Amino acid sequence: MTVFPLKFTRLASDYLFADDAGGYFRADGRFLERYAGGNLTTSDTEFLHTSGHAFDEVGDLAYMGFAYRWAQRLHRPQELNYVILVPTLRCNLACGYCQVSRVNENTSGFDWTEDTLAQVLRFLDGMDTASAKIEFQGGEPLLRLDLLETVREFARRKFKDVCFTVCTNLQSISADAWAFLDASDTFVSTSLDGELSAHQRQRTITSRDTHQFVSNLRYAIGRLGQGKVSALPTLDVNNLPTPNQIIETFGDFGFRSIFLRPINHQGFARKRYQTMGMDERWNDYHGRFIDALIEHNWTADFPVEEFYFTHCLRRILRGGHNHHVDLRNPNILGKDYIVIDFDGTLYPSDEARMVTRVGQIDLSVGNLWDGIDQAKLDVLNEEATNSFHPDCVHCPYQAACGIDVIDDLSRYGRIDVRKRDTTFCRRHTAIFDKIFELLYSDDKKAHKSLAAWAGIPEFDCSLAPIHT
Amino acid sequence: MGRNPGVRLFARPDTHMIDLRLKIGDVPIDHPSIVRLRTDAVESEHDAVLIDRDHQSQTFDLAGYSLRVYCDPQTDLDGDVLLLVPGRNSAHRLLRARSRHNTFLVTEQCDQLCVMCSQPPKKYHVDLFDQFTVAATLAPENARITISGGEPLLHKRRLFQFLVAAAKARPDISFHVLTNGQFFEPGDIVLIDEIGRDRVLWGIPLYAPYAELHDSIVAKRGAFETLSQNFMTLMRVGAAVELRTVVLQQNWDVLPRLAEYVSTRLPFIDVWAIMQLENIGYGRMNWGDSFKDTSLDFRELRSTINLAIGRGIQTLLYNFPLCTVPLEYRHLAPGTISDWKNKFLEECGECKLRSTCGGFFEWYKADEGFGGLSRQ
């Protein structure tokens, strides 16, 4: 019998062991010594074999099952099917942390030109996919409803199955805009910065504008339906609402999924807000937020989740969960999704657009007229995997984790910093630590939330295997 | 093939609910023939159009001859495909245009003798694949046709010929092949590819996570080992597999271990169907030793389901009446009993779950069945 290589880390007084296909279990230091010393007992080998960590012969079912699970952990990029469009950089708000340097509502020269629009449509027409997702970003995209309408009409004809998301501040919505949002294939994503005083401080500034936003958000949910509206909080790590304030504020609007995000470092926000050296404080806050959710869910009628924590939990439990562009491996850039800026420049992600805009490093990868700059993408993609990274190959969380070369570039100007010194690694290590702490706890409240987040009827201790 | 009065395609008794056999008048044919009944238009040489209707029958024009089909006057036969056998006064209703449950029983031979078999095997085989091929080309749009037995892959060459021809002729239809998985070979990859990997869902049973128990349940030594090998063939080709496990007293204790086996060895399957026992055939004969009353004890299923779904295996409960399933598991129990063989009990009455519940098999016996039924 051969054991697939195991990686390990401390887990309370024991160790967590994990293999390259994402299988894991808990065992004590004596097992570690037997494993490292090549002195496994019969009970060890039986356990390792039945739980998928070992095989008898190359090509047997245990071996092939492992190979399949390993492959499921890899993101296989598909054809381009997700396009983020920035029809205008103009905005009717001036949020302190704006990531992309919006420009004032009346400034000219920051919208698509007629030619740009024509090129966007040509670009969409060249996509080789039956189903597509188109996201309108800005600026405030609803300032150019005419462009949105043209794109939507064209895309509906072009694709068999297409949906649209309008990322709007919901500040000032015309009757025509509401009518546009009524369509069943069109969704709204907005910002709600945790609780209303933070929202006002960071976004709306005046109580009049805050009131206007709240009333528009309520109207949007009522008119369009709860399922068509989502909201994301952006949080200032130096001025954080309490977890319960956020849970209550979101709950008040009927939101049951909250995607917590600290103010982004990539854009201009870094000039006004501290976005470096905050890892520990953010990680601690995120952990306390999860604890607050667990407490909330124990008695709540409907469970609430932190979107990213749920995503990471599912990536721990199973393979094939590769749909989120923030966390996957390899994270091939410029393949299945792309950003088209107001001036027709192409970017591999919205963060790359921000990094470029602050003038730090040019991460644009071509434009609508000359096409995608494949040579540049190839350079970026060469390192867009954690599979061979010397720090990652020893990490028990590797199979569930991903990589973000754009984040590394924006923070450190290079991608060869030791992983454990990067914000990306620290944030994810903290999340995975927390997940295993909860999986292996005997807290019924934690189990109830874990089950809801994992999408299973009830928690079962077999999801936290222990070898004794 | 000449006259063969011994041809028996369906061992299952007809039910009073939906007839899978229809009484017909004499038809002058000398070999088994396929005909599609139409009320208006004729689109194929196999179509017979309605020419007369009375209180007990509908009459169709079959290439100049009259085909009289006896049925309730309300029965809508438009689009139904019948198999006519020479000398027989009943026709097999192979395809019902308004049903999702259409099955071709292609053979009654089998190499296993499973304790729960609902369709015990027979010695003789009549090859009707040519007729089935014609029938498939006449299927309603987007139909999914179940291929059952016996063990269909005992006649693998003919079965694959049928699947290739039908899949080519009708790009819209798909197949659900119920097989014990004993007869796949690495060389089948080419043919499975030719049929189309997404055109066939292979329904394959696995009853236990180790050979001794699985082999004893299917009464064939070496079955588990062969199946393990063949799963790898299906994994390699990227075939769509529905793994089927009937809950039995024999495997009740090992179901959680089976979940671990499935999630580590068979992560490629599309769905794991955990099924309740059908009280017919060997299932009826062995009922007392095999039926596990999950309405009174659901414990092992809890672990099994949570581990499997947690690890990313889509898991469903087939043939479980909804009131026998704990509330938080009911969304996993779609109504799966085919329309022609399901029923509800008197005590179901006005149960609130009735519209989504699959009910019971027609031959379910209440006095030997679930002890924990409760109208909702």
Residue in chain B nearest A48 by alpha carbon? B264
Cβ within 8 Å, pair B260-A462:
yes
User: How far off is chain A from B204, nearest CA to CA, in Å?
Assistant: 16
Give the domain-ending residue among B96, B112, B134: B96
Cis? peptide before A222, omega within 30° of 0: no
Cβ within 8 Å, pair B302-A463:
no
Does B376 map to a domain? no
Distance CA A231, CA A278 (A): 24
Q: Clarify whether residues B284 and B142 are in a common domain.
A: yes
Q: For chain B, say whether A58 makes contact (Cβ under 8 Å).
A: no
User: How far off is chain A from B261, nearest CA to CA, in Å?
Assistant: 7
pLDDT at A267: 62
Domain that holds residue B229: 97-368
Helix or strand run (H / E) with residue A156:
helix A145-158
Distance CA A397, CA A343 (A): 40
Give the domain-ending residue among B49, B75, B96: B96
Q: Which chain B residues are closer than 8 Å to A23 by Cβ?
A: 264
Q: Count the helix, strand and coil residues of chain B and give each as a percent rounded to the nearest 5.
A: 30, 20, 50
CATH code of the domain in which B218 resides: 3.20.20.70
DSSP label at residue A345: B
Dig out the tokens for A352 from the structure: 């790359």
Q: Which chain B residues are closer than 8 Å to A68 by Cβ?
A: 235, 267-268
User: How far off is chain B from A177, nearest CA to CA, in Å?
Assistant: 38
Q: For chain B, say whether A460 makes contact (Cβ under 8 Å).
A: yes
Q: For chain A, say whether B259 makes contact (Cβ under 8 Å).
A: yes
Q: Which chain B residues are closer than 8 Å to A64 by Cβ?
A: 232, 235, 265
Distance CA B355, CA A269 (A): 55
Q: For chain B, say whether A51 makes contact (Cβ under 8 Å).
A: yes
Per-residue model confidence as pLDDT tens digits over B146-166: 999 899 999 999 999 999 999
Q: Clarify whether residues B42 and B113 are in a common domain.
A: no
Q: Clarify whether residues B190 and B277 are in a common domain.
A: yes
Distances in whole angstroms, Cα of residue B310 to Cα of each of A52, A443, B284, B300, B331: 16, 18, 34, 15, 16
Does B44 map to a domain? yes
pLDDT at A93: 84
User: Is the Cβ–Cβ distance between B251 and B210 less than 8 Å?
Assistant: no
User: How far off is chain B from A20, nearest CA to CA, in Å?
Assistant: 13
State the best of B263, B298, B305 to mutate against chain A, taking most chain A CBs within 10 Å.
B263
Sole residue written with tokens 């062991």? A17
3-state secondary structure A167-192: ECCCCCCCHHHHHHHCCCCEEEEEEC
User: How far off is chain A from B312, nearest CA to CA, in Å?
Assistant: 5
Neighbours of A264 (CB within 10 A): 21
Residue in chain A nearest B311 by alpha carbon? A318
Q: Clarify whether residues B126 and B219 are in a common domain.
A: yes
pLDDT at B335: 87
Dig out the tokens for A426 from the structure: 């620290």
Q: Clarify whether residues B53 and B151 are in a common domain.
A: no
Number of domains in chain B: 2
User: Is the Cβ–Cβ distance between A163 and A186 less than 8 Å?
Assistant: yes
User: Is the Cβ–Cβ distance between A141 and A168 less than 8 Å?
Assistant: yes
User: pLDDT tens digits, chain A, 468 residues: what are they?
Assistant: 999 999 999 999 999 999 999 999 999 999 999 999 999 999 999 999 999 999 999 999 999 999 999 999 999 988 999 999 999 999 888 877 775 567 788 888 889 999 999 999 999 999 999 999 999 998 899 999 999 999 999 999 999 999 999 999 999 999 999 999 999 999 999 999 999 999 999 888 999 999 999 999 999 999 999 999 999 999 998 889 999 999 999 999 999 999 999 887 666 666 666 666 788 899 999 999 999 999 999 999 999 999 999 999 999 999 989 888 889 999 999 999 999 999 999 999 988 988 888 888 899 999 999 999 999 999 999 989 999 999 999 999 999 999 999 999 988 888 888 998 999 999 999 999 999 999 999 999 999 999 999 999 999 999 999 999
All CATH 3.20.20.70 domain ranges in chain A, comma separated: 82-276+332-375
Q: Which chain A residues are closer than 8 Å to B265 by Cβ?
A: 52, 61-62, 64-65
Residue in chain A nearest B303 by alpha carbon? A460
Distance CA B102, CA B105 (A): 10
Distance CA A222, CA B145 (A): 44
Cβ within 8 Å, pair B264-A460:
no
Q: Clarify whether residues B77 and B110 are in a common domain.
A: no
Q: Clarify whether residues B73 and B118 are in a common domain.
A: no
Angle formed at CA A272 by CA A271 and CA A277, multiple of 5 degrees = 75
pLDDT at B9: 42
Give the domain-ending residue among B74, B96, B118: B96
Task: Identify the bridge partners of residue B104 per DSSP, sorted by sequence position.
Answer: B147
Q: For chain B, say whether A302 makes contact (Cβ under 8 Å).
A: no
Q: Clarify whether residues B90 and B103 are in a common domain.
A: no
Q: Clarify whether residues B232 and B348 are in a common domain.
A: yes
pLDDT at B62: 87
Distances in whole angstroms, Cα of residue B300 to Cα of each of A168, A466, B293, B304: 49, 19, 12, 6
State the best of B184, B214, B235, B265 to mutate against chain A, taking most chain A CBs within 10 Å.
B265
User: Is the Cβ–Cβ distance between A80 and A338 less than 8 Å?
Assistant: yes
Does B374 map to a domain? no
Q: Which chain A residues are closer than 8 Å to B268 by Cβ?
A: 68
Cβ within 8 Å, pair B310-A318:
yes
Q: Clarify whether residues B64 and B213 are in a common domain.
A: no
Does B373 map to a domain? no
pLDDT at A197: 92
User: pLDDT tens digits, chain B, 376 residues: what are they?
Assistant: 333 333 334 434 434 456 788 999 988 888 999 999 999 888 899 999 999 999 999 999 988 889 999 988 788 999 999 999 998 999 999 999 988 889 999 999 999 999 999 989 999 999 999 999 999 999 999 999 999 989 999 999 999 999 999 999 999 999 999 999 999 999 999 999 999 999 999 999 999 999 999 999 999 999 999 999 999 999 999 999 999 999 999 999 999 999 999 999 999 999 999 999 999 999 999 999 999 999 999 999 999 999 999 999 999 999 999 999 999 999 999 988 888 788 999 889 889 998 899 999 999 998 899 998 988 8
pLDDT at A168: 95
Cβ within 8 Å, pair A456-B305:
yes
Neighbours of B374 (CB within 10 A): 10
CATH of domain A82-276+332-375: 3.20.20.70
User: How far off is chain B from A383, nearest CA to CA, in Å?
Assistant: 29
